[in-house]
Amino acid sequence: MGMKWTEPRWKSYIVRSGDPIFTPEQCDDIIRLGQRANPETAKVGTPIPGGKDGKLDKKKRITEISWIPFNEPQAGPMYNIIEQAMQRVNINHMGFDLPQLTEMAQYTHYPTGAFYDWHTDSEVNFVNQPCVRKISMTILLNDPKEFKGGNLQFMDNVKDNNNDLKRGEAVFFASFIRHRITPVTKGDRKSLVMWFGGPPLK
């Protein structure tokens, strides 16, 4: 009989920062960066390097996004803070091999009626060589009093809606976990989304 393997008790694949990693003023700066970038209708599917970048599917996802370039001068401090927070979370909770910044930050605007149905951030079929994603992150940028609905839910823990997120608070989670944003029923939800890659999982 083979050995029974167990995970260490310190590991968790869903981790909230608890305290905000950005101040309200910094959140406002990030919102301005996102609004200044070229907005586009969000697509479904993991971008393929040098190839397709997903497809429109309004039954699966309705939201507006924009990308904040790494070389945007005002974005440097934001990227540094996020990367440091991600590395702390990985060391203390996840234990993935060499996660790092590999994709630009996505500013996400969910107006009333917008949503993103159940999905994962990593592929299960690698024939098209998608980007390796190990850790996903979302940060609530605006005051939660400004909208209703728009809850972040995870497939194995739908009772915890994460609807008490504070402005500037981050949630880190393994990219292979199914999750969704429930429909926004009133107001606008603004967030920042990132993915962290590295050597393929093994």
pLDDT digits (tens, 9 = 90+) for 155-175: 876 556 666 899 999 999 999
Residue 41, pLDDT above cutoff 80? yes
Check residue 166 and give its pLDDT.
Answer: 95
| Partner residues linked to 139 by β-bridges | 170, 192
Check residue 162 and give its pLDDT.
Answer: 65
156 or 24: which leads in pLDDT: 24
Cα separation of 69 and 137, whole Å? Answer: 17
pLDDT digits (tens, 9 = 90+) for 45-79: 765 545 456 788 888 999 999 999 999 999 999 99
Sequence-ordered strand ranges (E) for 51-202 = 61-62, 64-68, 100-101, 105-110, 115-119, 135-140, 147-149, 152-154, 170-174, 179-181, 184-187, 189-197
Q: Domains of the chain by range and CATH? A: 20-45+54-197 (2.60.120.620)
Cα separation of 77 and 83, whole Å? Answer: 10
Check residue 125 and give its pLDDT.
Answer: 80
139 or 43: which leads in pLDDT: 139
Residue 6, pLDDT above cutoff 60? yes
**pTM for the model:** 0.91
Of the listed ranges 38-42, 65-69, 83-87, the least confidently predicted one is 38-42
Q: Using alpha carbons only, what angle is made at residue 192 by residues 114 and 190, rounded to the nearest 5 degrees?
A: 40
Helix, strand, coil distribution of the chain in percent, nearest 5: 20, 30, 50
53 or 93: which leads in pLDDT: 93
**How close are the terminal C-alpha atoms of the chain, in Å?**
23
Check residue 95 and give its pLDDT.
Answer: 95
Task: Identify the DSSP state of 190.
Answer: E
